[in-house]
Amino acid sequence: HVLKCCQRVLAWVPVAFIALVVAWSYYAYVVELCVCESMGRVASAGFVYLVVFHLSFFMFVWSYWKTIFTSPASPSNEFCLSKADKEQYEKEERPESQQEILRRAAKDLPIYTTTASRAIRYCDRCQLIKPDRCHHCSACDICVLKMDHHCPWVNNCVGFSNYKFFLLFLMYSLLYCLFVAATVLQYFIKFWTNELPDTIPQFHNSTNAKFHVLFLFFVAAMFFISILSLFSYHCWLVGKNRSTIETFRAPTFRNGPDKNGFSLGCSKNLREVFGDEKKYWLLPIFTSLGDGCNFPTRLVIMDPEQVTVPSQNEAAKSSGSNQSFPTRPLSESQNRLLASDCQWVESGPEEESVKTG
């Protein structure tokens, strides 16, 4: 118990470090730069800097707060085994018998992916059948819906419930660092070359202010470069409708592993994360489509990276030897996403069919 408590406390160290850096950057920019600069030659420039700075600072802190304190979404109770099935599963020692119990329990669940060995994905720790794109986080010790990764900088799992907040956090932190670095650059050059005019004595004679402004530029530029690569990577993931886990290990469908199995096209992939109403896209409020337990899939994938598309005969042949997949009406959000495009309709082994739009 003591070890777990220490582990939980230490997990907040990266978050505390970011909070301290952000608090210091606020002081350095507002007090040491804008206030002194506004008391100098150009008061209007300092006022404009303050307005833009506080706007970007507020959106950055808001999205960061939501990413940290939004609890990861877990599977609903329908994915848990019944008491009788759980007792029977624990008594069985043969994997084949355990899989038979899981198949029987999952026949009415919206599950279309399996393990690489074609087994039902089951979490022994949480004792539940994993929905599609759900994974167990060892740090949080829970199964997380559409888990992307566990981020130590937010001390939280990034998944279905807060993935939009995480993307906005990256975007606003990127804009925050860019704005700070761009506006501090002119003072950084003047401080470095000792060319700051005497008309701003607060800067010219203050070693403390000089240190803050010089260090502020270095920190903002460093964070901008590091966050830019991470934000670009996640923008690419959103366009492909993949998680970080799915990039390294493609989900296995009834026709085999398919890294593009959940891709509906760039526009619909974007709407799946940010929602239908564009006016809420830039606000850290939850607008993602679906329930996180089931996602629209299609066998025919219009993706340039997909060199070959399996034919209907090949799909039927590859699926005939596997266990049956359940049928479940798509939710309203999924129907909107699929619209009139190609749709993969899953059914039992006696009625295997692939419908194309």
Catalytic residues: 151
For residue 144, list its beta bridge partners.
135
CA dihedral (194, 199, 201, 204) in degrees, to 10, reads 0
Q: Which amino acid is at 140?
A: C
Residues in the chain: 357
243 CA to centre of own chain: 7
Q: Are 341 and 357 in contact (CB under 8 A)?
A: yes
Rounded Cα gap, residues 72 and 160, in angstroms? 7
* Cross-strand partners of 156: 151
Yes or no: say if 184 and 330 are a contact pair by the CB < 8 Å rule.
no
Q: How far apart are CA 273 and CA 286, in angstroms?
A: 9
Q: Name the DSSP class of 28.
A: I
Label residue 108 exposed, middle or buried (CB < 10 Å: 0-12, 13-18, 19+). exposed
**H-state helical runs in 93-251:** 95-105, 163-193, 201-204, 207-240, 244-248
Q: Is 301 exposed, middle or buried (0-12, 13-18, 19+ CB in 10 A)?
A: buried
Contacts of 80 (CB under 8 A, 6+ apart): 127, 128, 129
- DSSP conformational letter for 175: H
Separation CA 333–CA 287 (nearest Å): 11
